[in-house]
Structure 1
């Protein structure tokens, strides 16, 4: 059989320069299947960042489109612009059904809205894929990322495979797909090492088999040797990984971008507590409309677990060791219908803010607008798994109805609570400030009430009952009771035997003293469903505490006295008697009577954005990067090479070599300055080429002098060589004076006089020889193993 028959290619007449023969149909089919399969494996890290399976459909469709366009371009001899236009048209035609079906007609046919989203999403999707909480949903433009990754990766890999002289570069293209998918994935990745080994083994065998398809070879031995090498590499990677930190996780791009939702960017819900007690929110405006929830059910806005002396807030946040401020996208539990013990609807009225009402363990939450599912609002719902707090990025919209399915544990009676211990595994930061008045008052209550000690549920019950029995209620509307829950306000609450306040102060005080006494306690703000459900107004907003008890989780405790338990001052003598005027001491300014609605969580931690400070920081970082780049730059190696070369030439032992070295130094300096003599030119020819630019420098004379000494009858002496070096130095000084300063600086780092090509050829020859020797050794080892067996 002739060689042309054994080579499985479809011979197509060349129509232009650089065309390659197309592979036979069966080989192209094998290439396409392997490209799609390996492309899916390389893009698999995106699975950790997306929910559902639509991302996989987008990747597969993108790979198939890219490979198909590459084949058509190779078959019909498309140029680069035609290929790019075909890829863009396929993206717009198919992308509507794959990436933004909710904007397409019937979920398939492109519309003006879907084409607009596809065009804008080419830029916006990458940002949203990094900034939105994971797992990413299937709405919006986030599915454009896997679609474009598959389309571009499959197209470029297939073009290298079928339309270039280096088909092996399809492998590095798939490696770039893997790197991109891992960068846009999540910190967790399942079976990453196994998947990488499979991709490496199949890719190496496939490309090697393809490049040597027309040759006769023992492919069984070659495949086995490849698998052995890949297995050894995988074993080494596993061993090195086991030596590292087992608790460490992968670094992805989303770790280095600003998160889309940080609770510290919004006012503390507890700091706004008094605003709900004012008209018209108190009794006129409807904050929410509740349906399906039992009367008395506690519905939370937000949960706070640390006290900084000003406000209660969350201890966690992006980049924090605590998880109470880290929010992720809310994903509905598919088994919510079977698990839920509470089902209801909450419709937003005049309430504004980012906090979404929720109860118990939220299993499913679906936003409805005009009776239809609002996919945009659903994509903006985030939840903190640690506290159960739900928020909507950008804030809730009036008229939105949230269908809630949740699991609410059965309330415990006091006898059951008192026998439970506190959960020891909870780590909360201690309060920054604990007023001494609060500590002294609780200690007196322990003595007066005969508290017998105890931890966990018993201690939480004592604190709750003590505040309820010894305290009095006042919402501050009809009397002069200040709002807030800073350290001075809590000290004012407990410095007398008759504390007066509302749920904001009592919940904050119990939380502070509870953490001081070692309880895993946190503060919750929300509302209590009024009798019969219906409308929820500001008068229903309240605050309470939660303590985590062993075996039952977080148990609520309400330390606020009943609203009818008000402090009444005695008036024994109804007839007022004039009192002598006494000079009153000046009033010490304390906390404002009304807490500002703009008080930030973690106040004092964040400041207003200073543009100059930001620019200064950016310039400082850029300067530091520039210093590191300059320090590690390979250009210093160029300077060192040229200096050592000059030193070697000037100190040559042979006089003739030293003299010719001076000419070579002059020629190299002029070459760095841009003088390009004809390859193979003599000294005189090179001198005439340089004389046109540097007419004041006797370059031609120096060339004649070098020729006379080299080709003359007598050998030059070392003194003559040294004198010639002095003439060359003088000529170089004149050349530098006739050259602009910027050109002189560039010439010092120029590679024109550096013989890098021979060095690269030698390095390439050495690497090829080393690889061949390693392959021979591995082949012999494998053959020896089989012979021994």
Structure 2
């Protein structure tokens, strides 16, 4: 019987290796330094999404270079650990002053007491500041300490592991930690994250594997191509799943789990204050803003609201919001605003209070002025949500502040142009509850108007015109029309024969109806610039809806009836002939009101479960699991293969095959741990090669036992095979105890014991069998079989006989 010992086509070339702490050849040091810096930059690249400009990259490269330099000097001069760390700290203080806080140095280079104090205190404080300050972070200041220290620690640790230890492979996990820090302290937006990660993984695996086994003469070209093929296959599959899931280039970052400096959910809904602007004398006739330079009729927004919780429409963009709701980030003025702006003007804050800053269109530049001078403190507190173009000031606006605005405003579209538009694909948060009265009333309007759903633009125009035609206006000043836009208020609005309300109710109702008809729609509160500009009072505040269309962006719709369209009740006319008072009968309790009448704003939730929403959530979870599984395919695939291989060997029916399988399992596990016997070596030769490394395991005795059973006169019994497996398990346990934990972990994923040629041959054979089975199934398909039978019958009828070839 042939020996069970096998090995790959590698030959160990005897070569003397240096002791730990001895620098390798200069060319290898140069290659290591270049790759550590290059891969470190790629791993930390997500960190740059949170910074302005490119000074963060300068700080990162400076840190990586400084770490590699300190590690090289330490290896050359044989410094100890403490001295190496002290020199790294000194280098951080010397280089950090010029890189991080050059404005506090002497001549932009030499450290000063102020710069050193900033570096020392910032080394601990800046990590939280980089998460709590609104992004993008500034180009100067202590926030640049994060990339500098990340590069310094990563470069130093990786280079030390490469040049001072025999565990050079651990440089890969160190660079992986740099990637983790870069992603954690970066922003949610990212570009080509998967491609960049795959490139880093491929280069790092090939580089570290070659560096560890550069003395082994093997077919490195084939190994490199195989590694790149596996990484490319896993990456392509993950890209496909990511595209199916539609997650976009976003990720979870630490700043989303730290108390943010601005969360719109911490403030009341701006639409909830609508009635106060209209009814309170302190706001109705008071100047809120003074507008200058903006065209008459221009829409100026306070805030955009795209989430309805059953109580109010509110501003999104905080932690946990959907992607298309955006996120509030520091407002950065566009340097080319002067060339792109179509609207320029100023808005001066009067009696208005709140955090929402008036804005117009797409804000390109917004500069706060106080007493005619730029207010740097206020400018640093401005944040913007680029998805909704909502601007806010942390801490609230201040009376007397003037905002110089440069914006790009799209022209108003005619109804004929809107009818041809189709809705864009936007993922907005679904409303928590929708009144049934609203849905039923809109459906009744559709039937009465004979409206058959056409384009999305026609649907938006239908909703706008229906609310205008069937509704009446009331600002609640001269009557007792209830305020608010909660669930019960909208239910009352739509169940009455003649809806009565103001822009607050009509905009809220149209937005809910539009979302039920699959329109990407939201609510906006603001005002229109009065003719000639001037003062804007509380009575000028209004609300409208916006729908997003392809090639047109967000288009505004006003569903509120004209203010002069008011409902006149029969008893509005004064009775000139007074009637005598008549004693009224006692009031008899009637039927209880409907549940929607007693339901206050936000009382509970509906018990109906949206099956499609539940299925969509489950499908999203499954897609995420599939994406993770495909990304980690090279890892768990190896573990699964080794598990099935061991299971097949241990459950073999023949006792001899089962016993030889135990030896193969032991040989493969030792091969994964780095034992490389010569090609074609016997069991005993392989055992002697392993005995030098693992003297605590009787490997030679196990080899002799296997040879005695395999080549002996008698076949081994099942009991002897089971006892041999028990001895092998005991030997494997001792080997694991004698091996460092990190080496055991790498051995689990090692491919040294995987016979690629045999695996590929079996895969090709199985594919051929599957193809043959599919071919037989196609030929046996009943239409083909019937045609062949008919041809045979016709041949017999004409006397030509069988189709079989005659001898």
For residue 435 of structure 2, what is the aligned residue in structure 1?
434
Aligned residues: 598
Give the structure 1 partner of residue 242 of structure 2.
246
**C-alpha separation between the residues in 2 aligned to 1:30 and 1:234?**
20
Deviation at 1:145, TM superposition (A): 1.8
> What displacement does 1:60 show?
0.8
Mapped partners of 1:438, 1:85: distance in 2: 71
- Equivalent residue for 1:231, pick from 225, 230, 243: 225
- Alignment of 1:274 with 2:280, yes or no, is no
Q: Structure 2 CA distance, aligned partners of 1:101 and 1:8? A: 45
State how far apart, in whole Å, the 2-side matches of 1:62 and 1:280 are. 58
Q: Which residue of 2 aligns with 1:197?
A: 202
- Alignment-derived partner of residue 559 in structure 2: 559
Tell me: CA distance 1:208–1:471, structure 2 relative to 1, closer, same or farther (3 Å).
Answer: same
Q: Distance in 2 between matches of 1:282 and 1:351?
A: 11
In the alignment, the residues of structure 1 paired with residue 745 and residue 337 of structure 2 have an alpha-carbon distance, to the nearest angstrom, of: 61
Query: Where does residue 323 of structure 1 map in the other structure?
Result: 324
1:509 matched residue in structure 2: 509
Q: Give the aligned partner of residue 580 of structure 1.
A: 582
Q: TM-score, normalised on structure 2?
A: 0.61
Partner of 1:536: 536
**How many Å apart are 1:61 and its aligned residue?**
1.2
Corresponding residue of 1:679: none
Q: Verify: 1:257 aligned to 2:257, yes or no.
A: yes
Q: Which residue of 2 aligns with 1:464?
A: 464
Q: Corresponding residue for 1:62?
A: 63
Taking the aligned partners of 1:498 and 1:303, their CA distance within structure 2 comes to 28
Aligned-partner SS, 1:390: strand
Shift of 1:484: 0.4
Instruction: Give, in whole Å, the separation in 2 of the partners of 1:22 and 1:196.
Output: 26
Secondary structure of the structure 2 residue equivalent to 1:149: helix
Q: What do residues 750-779 of structure 1 show as CA deviations (whole Å, max 9, x unaligned)?
A: xxx99977654489999999999959999x
Q: Is the 8 A contact 2:310 2:431 kept in 1?
A: no
Cα separation, 2, equivalents of 1:415 and 1:279:
41
Distance 1:768 1:140 in 2: 42
**SS of residue matched to 1:196:** helix
Mapped to 2, the partners of 1:441 and 1:201 lie a distance apart of 64
Deviation at 1:42, TM superposition (A): 3.5
How far apart, in 2, do the equivalents of 1:92 and 1:586 lie? Answer: 83
Moved more, 119-128 or 521-530: 119-128
SS in 1 for 2:573: coil
* Distance across 2 between alignment mates of 1:280 and 1:207: 78
| Offset at residue 157 of structure 1 (A) | 3.3
Query: Residues 564-585 of structure 1: CA distance to partner in whole angstroms, max 9, x if unpaired?
Result: 5555553242354343343568
1:92 deviates by 3.9
How far has the Cα of 1:48 moved from its partner?
Answer: 4.5
The CA deviation string for residues 305-336 of structure 1, in whole angstroms up to 9 with x for no partner, is 34443222368864455622644555555554
Distance 1:289 1:162 in 2: 68
Tell me the alpha carbon deviations over residues 733-764 of structure 1, each in whole angstroms, 9 at most, x when there is no partner.
xxxxxxxxxxxxxxxxxxxx999776544899
What is the alpha-carbon distance in structure 1 between the residues aligned to residue 551 and residue 402 of structure 2?
34
CA distance in structure 2 between the aligned counterparts of 1:439 and 1:772, rounded to whole angstroms:
64
CA distance in 1, matches of 2:425, 2:320: 21
The answer to whether structure 1 residue 500 and structure 2 residue 536 are counterparts is no
Moved more, 64-73 or 485-494: 64-73
Write the deviation string for residues 168-222 of structure 1: whole angstroms up to 9, x where unpaired: 655553343344334444565143322332344345556766xx7xxxx9xxx77
Q: Gaps spanning 5+ residues in structure 1: where?
A: 1-5, 10-17, 606-752, 779-789
Post-superposition CA distance 1:7-59 (Å, at most 9, x none): 999xxxxxxxx995678988866654554334323333434454432221110
Indicate the larger mover: 575-584 or 268-277: 575-584
User: How far apart are the structure 1 equivalents of 2:22 and 2:211?
Assistant: 19
| Matched position secondary structure for 1:193 | helix
- CA distance in 2 between partners of 1:586 and 1:139 (Å): 73
1:262, distance to aligned residue in structure 2 (A): 4.4
Q: What do the CA deviations read for 1:57-80 (whole angstroms, capped 9, x no partner)?
A: 110111223234445556777654
What TM-score results when the alignment is normalised by the length of structure 1?
A: 0.62
1:409 aligns with 2:413: no
Q: Distance in 2 between matches of 1:772 and 1:446?
A: 69
Change (3 A) 1:243 1:291: same
Secondary structure, counterpart of 1:272 in structure 2: helix
Q: Is the 8 A contact 1:356 1:391 kept in 2?
A: yes
Aligned mates of 2:749, 2:389 — CA distance in 1: 58
CA distance in 2 between partners of 1:511 and 1:346 (Å) = 28
Match of 1:374 in 2: 376
Residues 294 and 532 in structure 1, CA contact (< 8 A), matched pair in contact too:
yes
Q: Equivalents in 2 of 1:771, 1:585: separation in Å?
A: 82
CA gap of 1:107–1:534, structure 2 versus 1, over 3 A, is: farther
Higher relative contact order (CA 8 A, sep 6+): 2
The 1-side partners of 2:470 and 2:746 are apart by: 88
Tell me the residue number matched to 1:483: 483
Cα offset for 1:471? 4.2
Who is 2:123 aligned against?
122
Structure 2 unmatched ranges of 5 or more? 1-14, 606-729, 757-807
Per-residue CA distance 1:677-716 (angstroms, 9 max, x = gap): xxxxxxxxxxxxxxxxxxxxxxxxxxxxxxxxxxxxxxxx
Shift of 1:432: 2.0
Residues 100 and 354 of structure 1, relative CA distance in 2, 3 Å threshold? farther
**How much has 1:141 moved relative to structure 2?**
4.5
Confirm or deny: 8 A CA contact 1:184 1:252 kept in the other structure.
Answer: no
Change (3 A) 1:287 1:121: farther
CA contact under 8 A between 1:295 and 1:533: conserved in structure 2? yes
CA distance in 2, matches of 1:501, 1:772: 71
Query: How far apart in 2 are the matches of 1:767 and 1:299?
Result: 61
CA deviation after TM superposition for structure 1 residue 438, in Å: 7.8
Check whether the contact 1:488–1:590 (CA below 8 A) recurs between aligned residues: no
Distance 1:246 1:201 in 2: 26
Assess, with a 3 A threshold, how the Cα gap between structure 1 residues 251 and 563 changes in structure 2: closer, same or farther.
closer
